[in-house]
Structure 1
Amino acid sequence: MDETTDMADGLRERKKRQTYERLSETAIALFLERGFEKVSVAEIAAAAEVSKPTLFRYFPTKEDLVLHRFADHEDEAARVVTGARGAGSALDALHALHTHFADGLARRDPVTGLNDDPRVLAFHGLLYGTPSLVARAYAYQRRSEAALAGALGALGGVPGGSVGARLAAGQIVAVQRVLAEENWRRIAAGESADRVRPDAVVAAELGFGQLRDGLAPGGRS
C-alpha cells in the first residue's frame, strides 16, 4: 500500500468520524430541545443534511444516535486491564480499574457521574429519563462486561475459570455503574461536583474494596 493510498484511507476515516459526530450532535440537540419521542429520524436527517438511508448506515437505531457518546467507553475497562503494566492477576487488574476510576473522578469524567456541567446534566437527564435509551444502554453494558470478562480470562487466576471471569466482570461493571449513578443523582439534586467528590472517592474505595475481598484467594464470593 503506497503513501497516497494511506492518505486517502486516513481522509475517509476522518470524514466518517466527522459525519458520526455531526449526526449524533444534531440529534442530541433536537432531543434536548423537544424530547426524544417527539423528534423523528427524518427530521434529524434533514437537519444534518443527509438522507435517511445515509443516517441509518451510521446509526442502525434512533437510540444509537444518543449512545454514540458511550461507544468509545464500551471496551474501556477491558483496555485498562489489558494495558495495565504488570497485571498478572485479577487483583492486579482490579487495582488498575480502581486507579482508572479514581483518575476519572479527578478529571470530572462524565462517565463517573461526577460532572456538573449543565450540558452533561442535560444529557444525563435525557438518557436516564427515556426508557428506550436506558434499555439500549444496558446492551452497551453487556458488551462491556463481555469484553472485560475476556480480558480477565486472558490473565488467568480468576477463581472459577471462564464463568468466574464473567461473574467478576459483571460485578465490576455493576459497581462502576452504581457509583456513577449515585454521583449523578446527587449532582442532579443540586449538589456541586466539588461537594460530592470526597464522598465519591470514599464510595469508590468501598466498592472496589468489596470487589477486592471477593476476588482475593480464599476470599468471599
Structure 2
Amino acid sequence: MTESLRERKKRATRRHLAEVATRLFVERGFEAVTIAEIAEAADVSVKTVYNYFVAKEDLVLPRGGEASADRLAAFVRDRAPGESAARAVLRNLREELRRRDRSVGLTLGYGRFMRMVRESPTLLARFDRLGADMRATLAAELAAASGASPDDPVPGLVAAQIAWTQETMFAEIADRTARDEPPGEIAAAMLDLLDVMESLLGERVLAYATRPEEDDPR
C-alpha cells in the first residue's frame, strides 16, 4: 500500500525530532535535556513532541521498530523450513553484522551514543525492560511453535538462552564502540563471538522448535 503524503510528513517529523533530541542528549546528557529544549531546537511546540513521543526516553529508544519486544520472536516466526528457532536468530544476527546494520550499532558515532545511554539510569532501565519483554515474547512464540503446555518451563528456558546470545553480543558491541573501535573490526569480532556462543548452546536448544520441512511437491 502506497504511503500517503500525510503519513510521509508524520514519519519525517518523527525522525527529525528523534535526531534533534539524540544530538542534544549526546552533547549534554539525557537527564540534563528537557522536552522544552528539544521542542525549541526542533522548531516545534512541546505539545508536538508529546504527540509523537509519550515519554522522553522514547526519543532514544522508540517503542516498536528496531526496539520492538517482538524482534527475536519475529526472527523465529520467519525461520526457514528445517531451521530451528535458535539457528534462525543466530542467522539473522550474523546477517546484520555482515551488512553492518544500524540495528546492531555498527555505525560511526555510536560510541558517543552508548556512553550517553550508560550514564542515564532512566535509559538503562528502559533497556532492561525491553530485554525482559523480548525474552517473554520469544518464550510465548516458542511455546506456540512447539505446542508446549502453559505450565511447561522449557520455552522460557530456551528463550533465555537464545536471548543471551543477542544480549551478550550487544553488550560487547557497546563496550567496543565506547572505545571507538572501527565498525568493521567490531563486526568481525562479533561473528567470531557468535560462533563461540553457538558452540556453548546444547543440542536441545539448537534443535528446539525446528520448522518442519515443506512437503516435496514432486
TM-score (norm 1): 0.79
Answer yes or no: is the 8 Å Cα contact 1:158–1:215 preserved in 2.
no
Q: Does 1:92 align with 2:84?
A: yes
Matched with 1:80 is: 75
CA contact (8 A) 1:111 1:180 kept: no
Shift, 1:65, TM fit: 0.7
Gaps of 5+ in 2: 209-218
Shift of 1:116: 5.5
CA RMSD of aligned residues (A): 2.9
Match of 1:200 in 2: 190
User: Which of the pair has the greater relative contact order for Cα pairs under 8 Å at 6+ separation?
Assistant: 2
* Aligned amino acid, residue 50 of structure 2: F
Percent identity at matched positions?
Answer: 33
Cα distance in 1, alignment partners of residues 140 and 150 from structure 2: 14
- Which residue number in structure 2 is paired with residue 120 of structure 1? 110
- The count of aligned residue pairs is 207
Counterpart of 2:41 in structure 1 is 47
**Is 2:39–2:45's contact at 8 Å kept on the other side of the alignment?**
yes
- 1 or 2, which has the higher helix percentage? 1
1:11 maps to which of 5, 9, 21: 5
Query: Does 2:17 align with 1:27?
Result: no
The answer to whether the 8 Å contact 1:146/1:166 transfers is yes
Which residue in the other structure is 1:108 paired with? 100
The gaps in structure 1 that reach 5 residues or longer are 1-5
Is the contact between residue 30 and residue 120 of structure 2 (CA under 8 Å) also seen in structure 1?
A: yes
